[in-house]
Structures are given as structure tokens and as C-alpha cells.
């Protein structure tokens, strides 16, 4: 069996559909129940539905062979894994954003609200910043004075527009990646490589 971690949610649904198109059929995975693991015995593939930000942990620890993860979660996790493939879906940007009227004069400690403290810290380098770690609705933070700026994902830009925010800097381009456990990939390399060749 090849064990595959899929991120729960739209990206995971899209990636499962890619597997389905190559003839893999994990019974009931699309039934939207509370079940978290599914298998296609015939093709020797098992899927696990995992919170997106946890996929890299499962892969790094060798609990699964491979996983699908956004580049954002991958970089933030710092996981020691092989990055095998860019799936070219789930494309978006990691950005610094701020209220339309805000200008960063670089002369005070910048308050940065983010779900991605590691990425934010790396981006600002030596500069003194105050990182405020949040878990969602990040765009609200600078609007009500919790932070000056945010470091967050921008996809369509509508969340920014609807909240009178703008992009100041694009930090990195993001998309969905296939990652592999370093220990398990070496055992199952041929099988995994073949699976990924058929996937794209
Ligand atoms: C993400 C991200 C932005 C939004 C960007 O949030 O944190 O808020 O999507 O997408 P857009 O540019 O297409 O508007 P998510 O929907 O995951 O919700 P969250 O606020 O709970 O993080």
C-alpha cells in the first residue's frame, strides 16, 4: 500500500479528482462523512484526510509515504522531506498587506499579524518586528489596530478589496506540492514515481 496524506478541503478534493482520473477509486471518499481514511485495495493506495497545516508533520515522521501540501504550509513547517512535484494548482501568493492608507515608514517596531510567523520572521530579516500569531480572519487585525500589516495568502484578492487593504509586497509564489517521507520514499521510490508520472 502507498499511504497518501491529502489536505482536507477544496485542494484535497481537487487532488483526489486527479487520482480518480487516473483510475484510482477510494470507496466513499467523496461521500463527505466524518471518516478520515479511505482505500483503493485494487490499486494499493490509501488516502488520509488531514488538516492542511499538519500534512508535512505526517510526512516528515514517515506516518505516510507522500502528501499534498501548499508551499505555504511546507515552508512554515520547516519539515525535512523531499519535495517531489509542483502540481500547479492552488496557485496564490504570500504577501505583506496593509490598510490602503498605511505607509511603512520603517522607523518603528512593525506589528505583523500572521498565521505564518516563521515566513514573516524570515522575510523581515534583521528588522525589529512584533509578530502577532493568529489563526484566521487575519485581515481584521490591521483594521482594528491589532497590527500595522499582515503576512497572509492572497488568492483572488477579494478579501483584501472588501476590507480596504492592499498588497505591499509579494513574498513568494505558492502552489500545491507533493512531498515524500525521506525514509519511506527510498523503499517505495519506483511505485511512487510511477504514481506521480500518471498523476500529471
Ligand atoms: C485565506 C487567506 C485570506 C484569503 C485570501 O483565508 O488567509 O484570508 O483566503 O483569499 P482571496 O484573496 O481569494 O480573498 P481562508 O479562506 O483560509 O480563511 P481564514 O480567514 O480562516 O484563514
> What CATH number does the domain containing 136 carry?
3.40.190.10
Cell, residue 60? 516528515
Answer yes or no: pTM beyond 0.85.
yes
Structurally, the chain folds into a number of domains equal to 2
Query: Of all atoms in ligand 1, which is nearest to the CA of residue 135?
Result: 22
Answer yes or no: is the C-beta of 155 below 6 A from any ligand 1 atom: yes
Answer yes or no: is the C-beta of 138 below 6 A from any ligand 1 atom: yes
Give percent of the chain with pLDDT exceeding 90.
97
Asked whether the beta carbons of 159 and 140 are under 8 A apart, the reply is no
* Other beta carbons within 10 Å of 151: 25
Whether residues 69 and 121 share a domain: the answer is no
Whether residues 46 and 111 share a domain: the answer is no
* d(C-alpha 135, C-alpha 60), whole Å: 23
Whether residues 100 and 71 share a domain: the answer is no
Whether residues 154 and 185 share a domain: the answer is no
Whether residues 102 and 23 share a domain: the answer is no
Answer yes or no: is the C-beta of 93 below 6 A from any ligand 1 atom: no
Whether residues 144 and 194 share a domain: the answer is no
Whether residues 181 and 83 share a domain: the answer is yes
Query: Of all atoms in ligand 1, which is nearest to the CA of residue 92?
Result: 12
Whether residues 34 and 99 share a domain: the answer is no
Answer yes or no: is the C-beta of 192 below 6 A from any ligand 1 atom: no
The reported pLDDT for the residue numbered 146 is 98
The reported pLDDT for the residue numbered 107 is 87
Asked whether the beta carbons of 19 and 45 are under 8 A apart, the reply is yes
The range of the structural domain enclosing residue 120 comes to 92-173
Answer yes or no: is the C-beta of 72 below 6 A from any ligand 1 atom: no
Asked whether the beta carbons of 131 and 123 are under 8 A apart, the reply is no
Asked whether the beta carbons of 197 and 76 are under 8 A apart, the reply is no
SS3 state at 190: helix
Atom 3 (ligand 1) nearest CA? 153
Give 142's contacts (C-beta < 8 A, 6+ positions apart).
97, 98, 99, 102, 113, 148, 149, 150, 165
Answer yes or no: is the C-beta of 28 below 6 A from any ligand 1 atom: no
DSSP 136: S
Whether residues 148 and 96 share a domain: the answer is yes
Whether residues 149 and 181 share a domain: the answer is no
Atom 2 (ligand 1) nearest CA? 153
SS3 state at 38: strand
Whether residues 83 and 143 share a domain: the answer is no
pLDDT one-digit tens code per residue, 20-49: 999 999 999 999 899 999 999 999 999 999
The reported pLDDT for the residue numbered 189 is 97
The reported pLDDT for the residue numbered 118 is 98
Whether residues 39 and 75 share a domain: the answer is yes
Amino acid at each position: 500500500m502507498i499511504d497518501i496524506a491529502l489536505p482536507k478541503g477544496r485542494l484535497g478534493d481537487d487532488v483526489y479528482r486527479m487520482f480518480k482520473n487516473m483510475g484510482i477509486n477510494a470507496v466513499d471518499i467523496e461521500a463527505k462523512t466524518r471518516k478520515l481514511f479511505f482505500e483503493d485495495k485494487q490499486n494499493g493506495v490509501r488516502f488520509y484526510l488531514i488538516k492542511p497545516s499538519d500534512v508535512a508533520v505526517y510526512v516528515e515522521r514517515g506516518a505516510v509515504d507522500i502528501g499534498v501540501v501548499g508551499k505555504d504550509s511546507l515552508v512554515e513547517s520547516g519539515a525535512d522531506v523531499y519535495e517531489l512535484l509542483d502540481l500547479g494548482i492552488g496557485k496564490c501568493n504570500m504577501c505583506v498587506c496593509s490598510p490602503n492608507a498605511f505607509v511603512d515608514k520603517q522607523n518603528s517596531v512593525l506589528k505583523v499579524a500572521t498565521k505564518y510567523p516563521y515566513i514573516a520572521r524570515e522575510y523581515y530579516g534583521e528588522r525589529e518586528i512584533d509578530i502577532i500569531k493568529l489563526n484566521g480572519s487575519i485581515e481584521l487585525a490591521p483594521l482594528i489596530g491589532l497590527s500595522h500589516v499582515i503576512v497572509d495568502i492572497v488568492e483572488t484578492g477579494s478579501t483584501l478589496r472588501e476590507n480596504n487593504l492592499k498588497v505591499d509586497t509579494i513574498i513568494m509564489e505558492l502552489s500545491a506540492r507533493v512531498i515524500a517521507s525521506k525514509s519511506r520514499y527510498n523503499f517505495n521510490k519506483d511505485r511512487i514515481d510511477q504514481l506521480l508520472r500518471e498523476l500529471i
